[in-house]
């Protein structure tokens, strides 16, 4: 150990002489010296020396600068996960034979939000309609990445939460109060449920704890086109209020029931503090079958898929996720991608 440190120190001193610098005085210079050491193939011996740690700090700092634009304008909590998460992923501990390679920049820490995050410049800007929130059906990217969203909340199978948590699957949930609280008859399309309303808001707290953003899908699931502005506003603001009260989080996305909306919906969504109205490009049927809303009937980069909290969701979900991966698509972190569509502006 001391011999190793001695080699490092000797190399550093040589580097210091050659480079005309004060040894150990400034971290940046020490890092430069250590890079010299690495070139001389000594670096893998200096794991225990503080020099190696400084190299890592310098490398991570450079990576953070590169990634800063992805996360800088996030604002709301929990989405600016790029640089912070990457730094922990870049310290393998134990066997650090070289400085962190670039590929470590995409390594996720085990406890951060799951899902692929956009690369710099990957995502195009999404145009807002005047001052109203933009209506988004898909994310403008060429990368093979798709996004999973799940609506309503009738069926509350704890196995599904466990699956999302254990497999680190990125999803976004749009909670509808009457479904979550099991008021009225559940969605007949779901068939007889085993866990209808079983966990109420506690179920959504578990999802929240598994890094699932809980977003706004109204109180009672009306066709908003049939309602005036005031009634729409009551449905939308009421949903945000109850989510905030029950979960302590503030929704930023709104999904109109049935995908039906008009200008009053956009005004109400804006007045209730929501940033985007989110639609979808394909729905997922029982059995994990994808029903496309586009003529070419295949997954496309940036697609947003819509599922429902239905019986057998855990099983169907497994089929779906495996299918998506077999087709060479990643699952994206929707919030990080949406942030990128606005920072592109
Ligand atoms: Zn719905």
Note down pLDDT in tens along the chain; length 345 residues: 444 444 444 444 343 333 333 333 333 333 444 444 343 433 343 343 444 444 444 444 444 333 333 332 222 323 222 222 222 233 333 333 333 344 444 555 567 889 999 999 898 888 777 899 999 999 999 999 999 999 999 999 999 999 999 999 999 999 999 999 999 887 776 667 889 999 999 999 999 999 999 999 999 999 999 999 999 999 999 999 999 999 999 999 999 999 999 999 999 999 999 999 999 999 998 888 899 877 778 999 999 999 999 998 999 999 999 999 999 999 999 999 999 998 654
Q: How far is the centre of ligand 1, averaged over its atoms, from the C-alpha of 155 (Å)?
A: 13
- Mind listing the pLDDT tens digit for each residue in 78-90? 322 222 222 223 3
Q: How far is the centre of ligand 1, averaged over its atoms, from the C-alpha of 258 (Å)?
A: 6
Dihedral sign from CA coordinates of 255, 257, 260, 261: negative
Q: How far is the centre of ligand 1, averaged over its atoms, from the C-alpha of 188 (Å)?
A: 12
Q: How far is the centre of ligand 1, averaged over its atoms, from the C-alpha of 217 (Å)?
A: 7
CA torsion 265-266-267-273 (nearest 10°) is 110
Q: Using CA atoms, how far apart are residues 120 and 104, in angstroms rounded to an integer?
A: 16
pLDDT at site 189: 65
Dihedral sign from CA coordinates of 326, 329, 330, 335: negative
What the block records as the tokens of 305 is 């898929």
Chain center to CA of 257: 23
Q: How far is the centre of ligand 1, averaged over its atoms, from the C-alpha of 213 (Å)?
A: 16
Strand partners, 330: 145
Q: How far is the centre of ligand 1, averaged over its atoms, from the C-alpha of 225 (Å)?
A: 15
Q: Using CA atoms, how far apart are residues 218 and 257, in angstroms rounded to an integer?
A: 8
- Mind listing the pLDDT tens digit for each residue in 93-148? 333 333 334 444 455 556 788 999 999 989 888 877 789 999 999 999 999 999 99
Q: How far is the centre of ligand 1, averaged over its atoms, from the C-alpha of 182 (Å)?
A: 14
Strand ranges in 167-316 using DSSP code E only, listed in sequence order:
171-175, 214-216, 253-254, 276-278, 282-285, 289-292, 304-308
Q: How far is the centre of ligand 1, averaged over its atoms, from the C-alpha of 113 (Å)?
A: 25
DSSP type of residue 240: H
Q: Using CA atoms, how far apart are residues 187 and 121, in angstroms rounded to an integer?
A: 41
Other beta carbons within 10 angstroms of residue 195's beta carbon come to 18
Dihedral sign from CA coordinates of 191, 259, 76, 78: positive
Cα–Cα distance list, 4 to 82, 100, 307, 319 (Å): 35, 20, 57, 52
Q: How far is the centre of ligand 1, averaged over its atoms, from the C-alpha of 125 (Å)?
A: 27
Q: Using CA atoms, how far apart are residues 251 and 237, in angstroms rounded to an integer?
A: 10
Q: How far is the centre of ligand 1, averaged over its atoms, from the C-alpha of 153 (Å)?
A: 9
Q: How far is the centre of ligand 1, averaged over its atoms, from the C-alpha of 284 (Å)?
A: 13
Q: How far is the centre of ligand 1, averaged over its atoms, from the C-alpha of 326 (Å)?
A: 28
With contact defined as beta carbons under 8 Å apart, do 317 and 288 qualify? yes
Q: How far is the centre of ligand 1, averaged over its atoms, from the C-alpha of 175 (Å)?
A: 8
Q: How far is the centre of ligand 1, averaged over its atoms, from the C-alpha of 335 (Å)?
A: 20
Cα–Cα distance list, 111 to 71, 103, 170, 249, 251 (Å): 18, 19, 12, 19, 22
With contact defined as beta carbons under 8 Å apart, do 172 and 215 qualify? yes
pLDDT at site 251: 98
Q: How far is the centre of ligand 1, averaged over its atoms, from the C-alpha of 158 (Å)?
A: 20
CA nearest 318: which of 342, 272, 287, 345? Answer: 287
Q: Which residue has the tokens 């209506």?
A: 135
Q: How far is the centre of ligand 1, averaged over its atoms, from the C-alpha of 221 (Å)?
A: 6
Q: Which residue has the tokens 């086109």?
A: 225
């Amino acid at each position: 150990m001391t011999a190793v440190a001695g080699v490092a120190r000797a190399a550093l001193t040589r580097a210091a002489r050659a480079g005309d610098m004060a040894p150990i005085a400034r971290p940046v210079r020490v890092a430069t010296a250590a890079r010299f050491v690495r070139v001389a193939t000594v670096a893998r011996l200096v794991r225990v020396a503080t020099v190696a740690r400084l190299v890592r700090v310098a490398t991570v700092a450079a990576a953070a600068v590169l990634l800063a634009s992805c996360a800088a304008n996030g604002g709301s909590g929990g989405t600016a996960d790029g640089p912070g998460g990457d730094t922990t992923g870049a310290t393998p501990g134990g066997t650090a034979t070289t400085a962190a390679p670039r590929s470590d920049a995409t390594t996720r820490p085990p406890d951060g939000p799951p899902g692929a995050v956009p690369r710099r410049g990957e995502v195009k800007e999404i145009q807002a309609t005047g001052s109203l929130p933009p209506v988004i059906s898909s994310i403008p990217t060429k990368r093979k990445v798709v996004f999973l969203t799940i609506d309503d909340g009738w069926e509350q199978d704890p196995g599904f939460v466990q699956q999302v948590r254990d497999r680190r699957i990125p999803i976004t949930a749009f909670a509808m109060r009457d479904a979550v609280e099991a008021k009225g008859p559940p969605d007949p399309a779901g068939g007889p449920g085993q866990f209808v309303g079983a966990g109420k808001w506690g179920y959504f707290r578990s999802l929240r704890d598994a890094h699932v953003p809980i977003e706004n899908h109204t109180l009672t699931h009306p066709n908003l086109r049939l309602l005036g502005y005031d009634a729409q506003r009551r449905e939308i603001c009421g949903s945000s209020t109850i989510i905030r009260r029950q979960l302590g989080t503030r929704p930023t996305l709104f999904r109109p029931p049935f995908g039906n909306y008009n200008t009053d919906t956009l005004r109400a969504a804006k007045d209730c503090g929501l940033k985007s109205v989110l639609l979808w490009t394909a729905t997922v049927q029982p059995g994990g079958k994808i029903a496309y809303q586009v003529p070419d009937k295949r997954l496309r980069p940036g697609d947003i898929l819509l599922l429902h909290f239905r019986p057998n969701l855990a099983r169907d979900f497994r089929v779906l996720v495996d299918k998506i991966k077999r087709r060479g698509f990643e699952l994206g972190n929707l919030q990080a991608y949406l942030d990128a569509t606005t920072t592109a502006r």
